[in-house]
Structure 1
Amino acid sequence: MQEALGDTFAVPLKSLGSGSDLTLPSSSEADTLERHDLALLAGSAPTLTRDEILERRRKHYGPNLALFFPEDPLHVTSAVGCRLYTSDSREEADSYLDCINNVSHVGHCHPQVTAAIAGQLARVNTNSRYLSQEHVQYAEALTATFPAPLETLYLLSSGSEANELALRVARTLRCDGAPRTAPLHVAVLDHAYHGHTNAAMELSPYKFYGPGGAGRAQHVHVLPCPDTYRGTGLGGEAAARAAVAEAAAAGATIGAFFAESVISCGGQVMFPDGYLAGVYRVMREQGALCVADEVQCGFGRVGDAFWAFQLQGVVPDIVTIGKPMGNGYPVSGAVMSRALAGAFAAAGGEFFATHGGSNAAVAAGAATLRVLREEGLQARAAAVGAHVAAGMRALQAAHPTLVGDVRGRGLMLGMELVTDAATRAPAPALAAALRARCAARHRVLLSAEGPWGSVIKFKPPMCFGEREADRMLRALGCELAALAADHEQLQALHDASRAAVAQLTRAREAWD
């Protein structure tokens, strides 16, 4: 298999495997095709215009199913590596650079992963109640990436399901494996996101304090999100003790602590050194299970470690994983010790997920893990991430009144925009304008998140290279310079940012 460089892969036709029924045209010039061309073979050319698709979507899809760039939605027809092709782009120069997809982890339509899934679907795809050599081989390979004693795997279909399973274990057991007899109270971090099911949303301040949210449930206790830029909420142990005291005042004991190892929707937040160790120590004194949510930040994305919790020098009781696990194929998991899994099983009740651990899901997961190793993508994340971070800091130096902070590790970075460098007031309207201009004028796709929507998020497929990084940095630099030079527009954006922050602050104070 030809090594992935940047966002282009060559696909040996033989890699599609004998299990696939895909028929490819012969070529006298070469025995390879660009993956973009392979994607186009999968179906006929679009027959509907973008506006027709949008009209039908509005008629038949739920209206609260969001679109990226709703003011100018993209009609994506194929993808390769870090590039998205739309109905009006068939050449590389016209493609969109994907800087936001942390699901297509090793690159859109990676040939090894695609072939593995297609081949498995052509042989058998059933559930985990049957013996499968591939299941045990994948479990062995995946759990080998975790520190002891994390050696037991449950497979599911989404990160939400994985966090629901961790919650189910916590309702059943203490961290020492003893049965839990009291109602479960849970501690979480502010601005965290742990999934879209009802139970997972109750653990997600990003959702329950957000638009349409129901507010904090009585059994949930929220620790402040550590903000190293503004110097608030940095003491993990003190925050944990405050949560324990709050639960005690309600006559309860905290039984689980959930934390993303990098808070993604909260704005690419990295913990101060020792933060999780302090929280874990306090929580385990209560018998609480410590759950590391690696759904967005795991599988080598942070570069310096395969799992982001390792940056904190801790070992969780349960690790939940998902999004990038199958490179876009739905597969997730929960990893724990054999002792904890045994106690969970002994407590009674079978665990089963219809699609969790299906043969095709295992094939997708195994192929993704293999590509990560063969193509050295963790090391690539460290190197390219350092290049991007240096470029973002150069933009910060060039625009110190607009770029307040650059943070993150590997290919999980954030650049926070501000209206005032001295007060560090967030600039969500500026962030929205910047990402919109990068998309419209440079075909560079970025997202904006954080408590106020002021953080430009960078979390691309792991095949992202320095060439792609430089294209993104040029787009950001060009549009920051243009916005800085247009004083009237910049003032209007700053006014809009202040109004948005004030509105968000009032809404949050109403919940508090």
Structure 2
Amino acid sequence: MALLKISFLQMSKRCLLQCGACWKPGSKLSVHTPPKMPPCDFTPERYESQPYNQILEIRKQNFSPMVSTYFQKPLLLHQGYMQWLFDYEGRRYLDFFSGIVTVSVGHCHPKVTTAAQKQLGRLWHSSPVFLHSAIHEYAEKLGALLPDPLKVIFFTNSGSEANDLAMLMARSYSGNVDIISFRGAYHGHSPYTIGLTNVGTYKPRRIASGSSCQTTMCPDVFRGPWGGSQCRDSLVQTIRKCDCTPGCCKANSQYIEEFKNTLHTAVAKEIAGFFAEPIQGVNGVVQYPKGFLKEAFQLVRDRGGVCIADEVQTGFGRLGTHFWGFQSHGILPDIVTMAKGIANGFPMSVVVTSPEIAKSFNPFNTFAGNPLAGVIGSAVLDAIKEDGLQENSQEIGSYMLLKLAKLRDEFEIVGDVRGKGLMIGIEMVQNQDSRQPLPPEEMNLIHEDCKDMGLILGRGGLFSQTFRIAPPMCITKEEADFAVEVLHSALSRHMEKRAKGKL
């Protein structure tokens, strides 16, 4: 009998470790062994800069109070290598947010670092009034990755600046002013692009900006009024039911009617353009119904507008199936903007368009065509190809997405799991029936717990209710398993606290 009790206790502990949902109020079992972090063969240098408290004081005195940080005790990062980050005390973290979806091929990727170091010893800067082989070679290489007629490249320094330029081009070429973007969209935080960005926390309170920009309903098949289990281009569909049939998405038709309503009521008869991320990033990796963007693009062109694809977060192979996010929708934009992963974190961005549209506007930027940017951009493209990172995004992203979907089946507070490749969102809810966002204080606890176990996740959504997963594209299956285990452990502990009334 004693042996039987021991065996049952061991089985119960094992069950608790594997399935936090098994825990019941009144149970005394609460055994959690933190997942074992995969090995890393890199040793960081010793931190020898200012002490942590002094850094905090500098932040308080010299940084904008509006710029927030993650975690109660903000991370003081010291060094990075590929998918790993190290803090000032040498603690190691698996980076699953890539500096806000920016580090595409890996922190301090050896090929990119070597190329940058060589160029630093030759020439840092010239300007567009001179020729330099690096930026011309890069333009040729990037242009070869885009379909005709998208071959004319304008170099800029950030995603906001790229989208600024795209707005000016759209208005100059069309002769119209109204531009439409989705609610929940993020296209930048400059005086122009703030009009395109429709996330309340990024809107200024007292300054009118971004005139002649109009919003339209985001066709979100999880949180929006329509959508169900067959609507989006993802291995994992929403748990909402729908009566769509293969090849005919009723939700898509309803969202298109809303888009038409915007065209009929909120803008002039002729418009300048329409901005869309192939998958919304800041809003929590929101995917649209299949076929929506194709129909919306045609409606915009019928009104004299141009269609702009914001590939700042979705481009460069991150979605796995295609190099560019717009390709997954079967569409051809008139203008494409890109930044972030384009240069692995180096300040560089690009606007690409057709020769016809390019003739309509003549911008000038002192830093456009920077030799260092050209060399780094080329090295990033080489790394994506030589390291097979698009293929890795598809393989590891699909593998991880399916494993994460099991968390939704197990935990009532996991409302939706979605995405493509290595751009994944986990939307947290109070319960799956209501789909009400999980309160910020609960999100913060789970977020902190994951960090304490060595996993850095991003946050997104209108209520910061979605965990954003967008690691460097070099991650391995072992590291994906570790991340899923960390999330499972954090959610299990959280459900225990809920059941005990400790939240």
TM-score norm. by structure 2 comes to: 0.82
Q: From 392, 405, 412, give the equivalent of 2:404.
A: 392
Q: Which residues of 2 match residues 208-357 of structure 1 at below 5 A?
A: 210=203, 212=205, 219-230=212-223, 232=225, 234-235=251-252, 236-248=255-267, 253-342=270-359, 344-345=360-361, 350-357=362-369
Task: After TM superposition, give the deviation of residue 8 of structure 1 in Å.
Answer: 5.8
Q: Is the 8 A contact 2:189 2:202 kept in 1?
A: no
Look up the equivalent residue of 2:76 and give its one-letter code: H
Look up the equivalent residue of 1:220 and give its one-letter code: C
Relative to structure 1, is the Cα distance of residues 124 and 480 closer, same or farther in structure 2, using a 3 angstrom cutoff?
same
Look up the equivalent residue of 1:296 and give its one-letter code: Q
Task: After TM superposition, give the deviation of residue 239 of structure 1 in Å.
Answer: 2.8
Question: Percent of counterpart pairs with the same letter?
Answer: 32
Look up the equivalent residue of 1:247 and give its one-letter code: A
Query: Unpaired segments of 5 or more residues in structure 2?
Result: 1-37, 227-250
Relative to structure 1, is the Cα distance of residues 356 and 207 closer, same or farther in structure 2, using a 3 angstrom cutoff?
farther
Relative to structure 1, is the Cα distance of residues 360 and 439 closer, same or farther in structure 2, using a 3 angstrom cutoff?
same
SS in 1 for 2:429: strand
Q: Larger RCO: Structure 1 or Structure 2 (Cα < 8 Å, ≥ 6 residues apart)? A: 2
Q: Which residues of 2 match residues 62-211 of structure 1 at below 5 A?
A: 62-69=64-71, 71-89=72-90, 94-101=91-98, 102-125=101-124, 126-174=126-174, 180=175, 182=176, 184-207=177-200, 210=203
Please state if 1:410 is matched with 2:418.
Answer: no
Q: Is the 8 A contact 1:432 1:448 kept in 2?
A: no
Aligned twin of 1:51: 53
Q: Is the 8 A contact 1:384 1:466 kept in 2?
A: yes
Task: After TM superposition, give the deviation of residue 129 of structure 1 in Å.
Answer: 2.0
Distance in 2 of aligned mates of 1:7 and 1:382: 23
Query: Unpaired segments of 5 or more residues in structure 1?
Result: 1-5, 10-33, 175-179, 493-512
Relative to structure 1, is the Cα distance of residues 454 and 215 closer, same or farther in structure 2, using a 3 angstrom cutoff?
farther
1:145-170 per-residue CA deviation (whole Å, 9 max, x = no partner) reads 11221111111110111001101111
Relative to structure 1, is the Cα distance of residues 277 and 198 closer, same or farther in structure 2, using a 3 angstrom cutoff?
same
Stretches (4+) displaced over 6 A: none
Q: Is the 8 A contact 1:77 1:85 kept in 2?
A: yes
Relative to structure 1, is the Cα distance of residues 218 and 59 closer, same or farther in structure 2, using a 3 angstrom cutoff?
closer
Look up the equivalent residue of 1:200 and give its one-letter code: T
Relative to structure 1, is the Cα distance of residues 488 and 215 closer, same or farther in structure 2, using a 3 angstrom cutoff?
farther
Distance in 1 of aligned mates of 2:160 and 2:271: 21
Look up the equivalent residue of 1:74 and give its one-letter code: L
Q: Is the 8 A contact 1:8 1:80 kept in 2?
A: no
Task: After TM superposition, give the deviation of residue 210 of structure 1 in Å.
Answer: 4.9
1:43-80 per-residue CA deviation (whole Å, 9 max, x = no partner) reads x74242211111122112222222222x1111111110
Distance in 1 of aligned mates of 2:369 and 2:470: 27
Distance in 1 of aligned mates of 2:314 and 2:214: 23
Look up the equivalent residue of 2:391 and give its one-letter code: A
Look up the equivalent residue of 1:299 and give its one-letter code: F
Q: Is the 8 A contact 1:299 1:325 kept in 2?
A: yes
Task: After TM superposition, give the deviation of residue 317 of structure 1 in Å.
Answer: 0.4
Across the aligned residues of Structure 1 and Structure 2, the Cα RMSD in angstroms comes to 2.1
Relative to structure 1, is the Cα distance of residues 398 and 155 closer, same or farther in structure 2, using a 3 angstrom cutoff?
same
**Paired positions, count:** 436
Distance in 1 of aligned mates of 2:283 and 2:321: 21
Distance in 2 of aligned mates of 1:489 and 1:282: 54
Task: After TM superposition, give the deviation of residue 310 of structure 1 in Å.
Answer: 0.8
1:288-346 per-residue CA deviation (whole Å, 9 max, x = no partner) reads 0100000011110010111111111000000000011111111100011122213x25x
1:159-214 per-residue CA deviation (whole Å, 9 max, x = no partner) reads 1110011011112112xxxxx1x4x0110001111111110111101157757476
1:9-65 per-residue CA deviation (whole Å, 9 max, x = no partner) reads 8xxxxxxxxxxxxxxxxxxxxxxxx4x55xx3xxx7424221111112211222222
Distance in 2 of aligned mates of 1:490 and 1:325: 47
Q: Is the 8 A contact 1:303 1:410 kept in 2?
A: yes
SS in 2 for 1:97: strand
Distance in 1 of aligned mates of 2:319 and 2:206: 30
